[in-house]
Every structure is written in C-alpha cells, then in structure tokens.
Amino acid sequence: MRDQTRQPADAVRLAAEAMRTRFELVLWGPSERDVRAAGEEALAIIHETEDRLSPFRPGSLVSAISRDGASRPVRLDADTFRLLSLCADVAQRSFHAFDITLWPLMHAWGLRGEPPSPDAPAGCVWGWQRLVLDAAARTAHTNDPGVRLDLGAVGKGHALDLAARAIAESGVVTAAFLHAGTSTAIAVGTPAHPFAVRLAAADATRSPTVRLTQGALSVSAPRGGHIIDPESGRPVRPGLELAATLAPGAAEADAWSTALLVLSSRPDGLAGFTPPPDLTTITLQPRGGWIAQGPRRRDVSIPGAPGSADAPAVAFSPAPSPTGQTPCPSATPGAPS
Amino acid sequence: MTELDRRTFLASAAGGLAALAVLPELGFATPAPRLAQPLRVGVVGVGRHGRALLDDLQKLDAFTVAAVADNDPARLSAAQRRLGETPTYGTHAELLDKTKDLQAVIIATPTHLHKQIALDCLGAGKHAFCEAPLAHTPEDCREIAHAARRASTVFQAGLYARSNPVYKLARTFFLSDSVRDLVAMRAQDYRKNSWRVPSRDASRDREVNWRLDTDVSLGLAGEQGTHQFDVFHFYTGRYPSSVWGTGSIRVHDDGRTLADTINCNLRFADGAMLQYAASLGNSYEGRFEVFHGSNAAIKLAWSHGWMFKEADAPTQGWEVYANRQQFHNDEGITLIADATKLASQGKLKEGVGLPYSPQYYALTDFADSIANGKPPACSAEEAARATIVGIIAARAVAGNTQVEISEDALRI
C-alpha cells in the first residue's frame, strides 16, 4: 500500500470538461489524498456552477431567467445573485462596455455560426438594465420577454472563484493554481514562489510574464477581429490586440478584460476610463506595445521594459472565442517558479 | 454519414442493430404542482448531494427552504452563506424543535444516520423525503418502512429512476413487449473519484469520510448499486434470489480497506442474470443500465435512453415518424415529440436529455403527493427492499462470496 498521506513529490493535477472548456487544477499540500479530495470537491463545484449558469441547459437558473423572467421573479442562490450584481456593476462602471444580454445580437450578427440577419440589430432585445435584481427577495426578473442571458464571458471565472473558495476553506491545500481554458486563472493559498504566467502573443519573445500570487488573471481577445459593442449593438473592431486584467476575483477579471476590449473600440479608447482601484490592466496595443497599469503592475514583467525582472515563462495565450468576447487561449498553467 | 455509408449501414443492418434514442419530448418536465403557499421544507444534510437538492428546491415554486441542519460546521457555514437568512442548525432535533411550522423534511445525511432522523420527522408529523439507500442495515430499513406505514404524512424515498421521465418512458416500451423475452441485464457505475471528502479537522476525518468506513458504509454495491438494482426491480417487478460479489482496491490505495472496484452477479429465480460493475478508478461509459431482450435492448443512462432493435424485430408504427440521428457509429432513430423540429434547430446535435436533474422530478413527485394525495413515487417499502438487496450485495462483495436472498429477507 502506498502511503498517500505523505508529502506528495509533485503537485496533484486534476481536470474536468465543463462549460465547453477544460478546467485544470494544480494543487499542493502536505497530504496527497487530502489534496486530491479537496480538488475533487472543487471540480464538483465547477460542475454545479455549470448546471446553474449554462444557457444550453433548460434547467439552469440562467435559462429560467431567460424563459420565465418576464413573467415571474426567479429565485437565486446568494452566489449567483452576487455574480449578476457584479455584471450589472461592471456594465454601469464601464459605460455599457459589458453586457450579459447580448445573446440575441450574437445570433443576429452571425457570431454563433448562423448567417447574419440583414436587419441586425433591428428586432433584437438587449441591455443590462432589462435585468432587474431584487436584493431583498434575492430574485431576478426581466422587463421584456425577449431578453436572453448569456454569462459566457464571466461563467468560467465565477466557477473558478467558487472552486478556489472551496479549496481555500478545505484547510488541506497550501497552494493551488486553477484555470479554465487557460483564459482565466486564479491562485489560491501561499505558494513558495509566485506562479509565473506568460501572456503569449504573436511575438512570444516579447510576451509579458505575470507573477500571480493571490487573485485572478483573465485574458480576452476578439474573434475574427470583431466584437459586439453593447452600446450600439453593432460589431466593432477593438483598438487592442489583447486585454488582460488582474483582479481579486476571476469573474471580475473576466468581465473587465471583456469590457476593456469594447472600450478600446470607441473613439476615445481607454482615455476617459478610470479602472476600479483594485484592477490591474495589461494591454497589447495594435503596433505590438504592451502597457501595464494598476496596483499590481509590478507583478507584470515586460521583456525589454525598464525594471522588468526575468521570470520563467509559462504560456497563457489568448485565442478567438465563440462568443467573440470570451477568449479560449491555449496554454499550460504555471508551477511555482 | 455519406450516402454510400448510409447504404452500407442499411444493408448491413440485417445482421446488426439499429439504435433508437428514447428521448424526452421538448416540454418533458412533469408539471410542478401549483400550491397556494409553498411547502416549508427543512433540509438535513447539506453535503454534496444536499447541495444538489437545495439547487432543485430553489427551482421549484412548490417549496421554500425554511431551515437546514448539518452536524459539520464547515458545510453548515457554506449553506448559510448560500441561503442568506435561512436558519441553520447543528442537529435535526434542533431543526424540528425550533422550526415548528415546517411541513416537510428532506433527509440527505450519511446513510447510517437516516433511521433516527426519519423516525423523528415522521413522529413530529412532517412529510419526509429520504435519500436512498434507506439505511445501512435491514433492521433499520424495516423500522423506517414500518414508521412510514403508520404515519399519516407522506414518506418518499429517493430512488430516482421511479420519477425519472426518461426511465418512465422507456419502461412503457419495456412493458409493451418491445424488448420481448428478457435475455440478460447489465449495469455499471464508473466514475473516477476518490470518494474522499477533505476535512481540516483530523478528528472528524472518519465521520466525514463515512463512505470509506466499512463499519457503516455499504460501499459501491450498496451506495450506488441500490439505485441501479432498483431500476431492474422497477421494470421487472422482481427481486434477485442470490448475489455473488467481489471487489478490490485498484487505484485508491490510500489506507482504505473498502474496495474501489467491484463486480456482482445477481441471479433471479427464473435464471435471468444481472451483471453489475462499479469503479472509482475509471470513468469510461459512466453509469448505465441495459436490458437485453430477444427483440431489442434498452439502454438507460440517467438523462438519456436508447433502444437498439434486433434486425428481425417487427417494425412498430412509431418508427416511421421517428427522427434519425447519428448515434455513436450508427445512425439511430430518435423517439421524441417534435424531433424533426428540434433537428432542424440543431438541438439534437447538442444532445437532448432531461432538462432537469432526476432529483428535480423526484421532488416534484414529492410535492404532488403532499398536495394532491398521490401515492409516493417510491414508497418506504419499495426502498427498503431495494436497499436490502444492496446491503446483501455489499456483504457478498466484502466476503468475496455468494449470498442467497430469501423471500423472508425482503419481507417488510
């Protein structure tokens, strides 16, 4: 019999397919069997989150809001209510550069695989204000039966947040790195050294490396060069090649990385935008320059930039997404370096 | 499938099988009963399965969760965070004592704790929904069944096949002679998982990892097998007369003595056999039950079901209207209302299954029994018999032996 209560020689790695992507967990702790158990619990939570948020599952809360929300309030658990509140908050603070009601527009503009509608966006119902949240009753309803929610831009991040919380509360994991499709990642615990994550771009030699200790990282890039601006309801070309964010939570990081792309498409770009105080942004300009701004910019090493420290590179690269706003990069999660 | 492939398939079908997907119709959901006021329900046990039940209770207007109880502070804290203002208690006794207006209780604790909670809930005049297996000993099963028989309230056990719309639909085919002579039965539950629960408090490790404790756990045969064996009871109306079992630790060699991989053969009085396999070391093909008949086989997989017809089986009328669908390597026929419409929308490609979880339908049935006096979808007696089969199978696995199942053993 192997003694699995011993200190594991390597990290415990677990993975699962959920939300149409691959979630991977890399965990460290004093007891292999306990660490594995904590990881399995986290994966169970990711699946439960998919059950609540998937627009493709008729029994999900998101489907219930889309289907019934105009005729009755839909009861929510506290975590889902907080997520919807976060989405509303980002929508407002980003001047409507983020919106979880774009499903009809995505279809109308042919971003879901169908032929685009010649009348788009006419006939489409969208707008985050159409989703009404009642904090006292902890319910959600809509003010138009045409509203369709799609939390694809933040669902993976939310699942990672809940999984990370469970891992942290398990008390048996010293450090963990979780990612969804390598577009969103979150660090848990106190690793011996920060996780090093490289934001891969076309010119990999100039890709920045992010040192992730606590908190989350999200990367967004446009699909086919275009994304939908919720303000106009029309496809636009972002003014950035890539937008990444560091935030306390993965859902929050996801929402803002998407919003940054949309903001960059507008005439003023990011000029008039003041990010939340705990948000760090990393952007790739059209001509290839990287800019890091915010409280954790020192955790971002840009090759060739003054003061940048060398760090082992672990690819974390954005790729086109089916939604046009949620990236699905391909990469490998980093071990503590 | 190309046209040539299609012709080849059709030509070879004389010696092969055609697959028919038994899928729920679009609006499959059992209508939840409309109540003037939602039933105030308490949930005892908010571990992983309890969480799933809370999710489904939230979706059903027939219920409002008025209180929860769990003896694990971490789980209780997580439930409280999720439910907000809902009161939480450390014991079911406290929950019953302090929430007088409760109408029903959902029991989702470890199996060996079911009996006392069920008896106390029924004794307090509450409707009770108790997870299966019903208990960890035949004596406890009978005690619960007797209490349920005496009670004036509803008692429903959580053997979900009996509420699952896919399973109920497929059962109509089974009973209508589509399968014809029963040849053999087969089931498995493969899922890669350690069955271990993390515990920050080492002194509580044995308690929270009760499923690995051979003093109280029924192992894979009892905890998982009971649910699957009941599918065969539900369809055939019969119970096995003996069970042979064996098991070993193939993957999770972490100090446990409970087998992580098992095999059972359950023999019925007429000679029919049910082969059962379960493992925590591999996930291939997951969970399913299969009825092999001389005309067709029915395969059930929790949220989906299919029928595989023998080439010489008589054609039935519904096949003409059935939608054709690619199924694994063959072209199958979908049995579903509005299938053509769904196919045109591309929804069949996404995999049509149950819109809700099986426990959602069981809870719907529970509400219906309370509100409208319908018999419970799974009575305590049915659950007791199914559980006793599971308990005996667990003993067979533990002893690497064959155990007879007498009629007396199943008498409640």
- Is the Cβ of A78 closer than 8 Å to some Cβ of chain B? yes
Q: How many CB atoms lie within 10 A of CB B407?
A: 9
Q: Give the Cα separation of A209 and A102 in Å (integer).
A: 32
B225 pLDDT band, cuts 50/70/90, is: very high
The answer to whether domain A61-142 has CATH 1.10.3980.10 is: yes
Q: Give the Cα separation of A121 and B195 in Å (integer).
A: 50
Q: To which CATH superfamily is domain B3-27+163-353+389-402 assigned?
A: Dihydrodipicolinate Reductase; domain 2 (3.30.360.10)
Q: How many CB atoms lie within 10 A of CB A270?
A: 19
How far does A110 lie from chain B, in Å, by closest CA? Answer: 15
> Is a pLDDT exceeding 80 seen at residue B64?
yes
- Nearest neighbour of A59 by CB, restricted to B199, B253, B357: B357
Task: Give the pLDDT confidence of B86-121 residue by residue, as tens digits.
Answer: 999 999 999 999 998 999 999 999 999 999 999 999
> Is a pLDDT exceeding 90 seen at residue B79?
yes
A207 pLDDT band, cuts 50/70/90, is: confident
Distance of alpha carbon B339 from the chain centroid: 27
Q: Is B144 left (phi over 0), alpha (psi -120 to 50) or beta?
A: alpha
Residue B382 confidence (pLDDT): 97
The answer to whether domain B39-160+373-378 has CATH 3.40.50.2020 is: no
Residue B23 confidence (pLDDT): 47
- Those residues with Cβ within 8 angstroms of residue B294's Cβ, 6 or more apart along the chain or in another chain: B179, B180, B181, B183, B310
Q: Considering only CA atoms, which of B129, B92, B131 is closest in space to residue B108?
A: B131
| Residues of chain B with a CB closer than 8 angstroms to some CB in chain A | 48, 51-52, 54-55, 58-59, 74, 78, 81-84, 193-194, 196-201, 252-255, 350, 354-357, 360
Residue pointed to by tokens 């699942």 = A159
Q: Considering only CA atoms, which of B114, B133, B108 is closest in space to residue B226?
A: B133
Q: Give the Cα separation of B100 and B40 in Å (integer).
A: 10
Residue A6 confidence (pLDDT): 46
Partner-chain contact A38 B198, CB within 8 Å: yes
- Reported as half-sphere exposure (CB side, CA atoms, 13 A), residue A297 has a value of 13
Give chain B positions within 8 Å (CB) of A52: 55
B328 pLDDT band, cuts 50/70/90, is: low
Q: Considering only CA atoms, which of B75, B54, B108 is closest in space to residue A61?
A: B54
Task: Give the pLDDT confidence of B356-387 residue by residue, as tens digits.
Answer: 899 999 999 999 999 999 999 999 999 999 99
> Is a pLDDT exceeding 90 seen at residue B340?
no
State what percent of residues in chain A have pLDDT above 90.
66
Averaged over B72-96, what is the pLDDT?
94
**CA A184 to each of CA A22, A189, A197, A199, A258: distance values in angstroms, whole numbers, following the listed order:** 11, 17, 11, 11, 12
Residue A332 confidence (pLDDT): 35
Q: Considering only CA atoms, which of A112, A93, A115, A96 is closest in space to residue A104?
A: A112
CB–CB contacts below 8 A, A to B: 78
Tell which of A1, A66, A141 to mutate to test the B interface (max B CBs under 10 Å).
A1
- Asked if B131 and B223 touch (Cβ cutoff 8 Å), the reply is no
Parse chain B into domains and list their residue ranges.
Answer: 3-27+163-353+389-402, 39-160+373-378
Give chain B positions within 8 Å (CB) of A36: 194, 196
Tell which of A28, A57, A82 to mutate to test the B interface (max B CBs under 10 Å).
A57
Q: Give the Cα separation of B362 and B359 in Å (integer).
A: 5
Q: Where are the alpha helices (DSSP H) in A98-149?
A: 103-108
ipTM rounded to 2 decimals: 0.88
Give chain A positions within 8 Å (CB) of B202: none
Task: Give the pLDDT confidence of A22-59 residue by residue, as tens digits.
Answer: 999 999 999 999 999 999 999 999 999 999 999 988 89
- Asked if B136 and B216 touch (Cβ cutoff 8 Å), the reply is yes
- Nearest neighbour of A1 by CB, restricted to B81, B255, B360: B255
A5 pLDDT band, cuts 50/70/90, is: very low
Averaged over B294-321, what is the pLDDT?
82
B25 pLDDT band, cuts 50/70/90, is: very low
Q: How many CB atoms lie within 10 A of CB A9?
A: 6
How far does A27 lie from chain B, in Å, by closest CA? Answer: 13
Residue B336 confidence (pLDDT): 54
Residue B139 confidence (pLDDT): 98
> Is a pLDDT exceeding 90 seen at residue A100?
yes
Residue B346 confidence (pLDDT): 58
Partner-chain contact B48 A44, CB within 8 Å: yes
Averaged over B197-216, what is the pLDDT?
92
Residue A317 confidence (pLDDT): 43
Give chain B positions within 8 Å (CB) of A1: 253, 255
- Those residues with Cβ within 8 angstroms of residue A320's Cβ, 6 or more apart along the chain or in another chain: A221, A222, A223, A224, A327, A328
CA angle B236, B353, B306 (to 5 degrees): 45
Which residues sit opposite A23 in a β-bridge? A16, A180
Percent helix, strand, coil in chain B, to 5, is 40, 25, 40
> Is a pLDDT exceeding 90 seen at residue A320?
no
**Bigger pLDDT: A182 or A7?**
A182
Averaged over A98-102, what is the pLDDT?
96
Q: How many CB atoms lie within 10 A of CB A202?
A: 11
Strands A21-28 and A12-18, sheet pairing: antiparallel
- Reported as half-sphere exposure (CB side, CA atoms, 13 A), residue A35 has a value of 26
Is A159 buried (19+), middle (13-18) or exposed (0-12) by CB count in 10 A? buried
Averaged over A6-26, what is the pLDDT?
86
Averaged over A60-72, what is the pLDDT?
96
Give chain A positions within 8 Å (CB) of B255: 1, 3-5, 33
Residue B344 confidence (pLDDT): 60
**Bigger pLDDT: A11 or B221?**
B221
Tell which of B26, B46, B58 to mutate to test the A interface (max A CBs under 10 Å).
B58
Q: To the nearest 10°, the Cα dihedral for A149, A151, A153, A156?
A: -170
- Is the Cβ of A14 closer than 8 Å to some Cβ of chain B? no
Is B382 buried (19+), middle (13-18) or exposed (0-12) by CB count in 10 A? buried
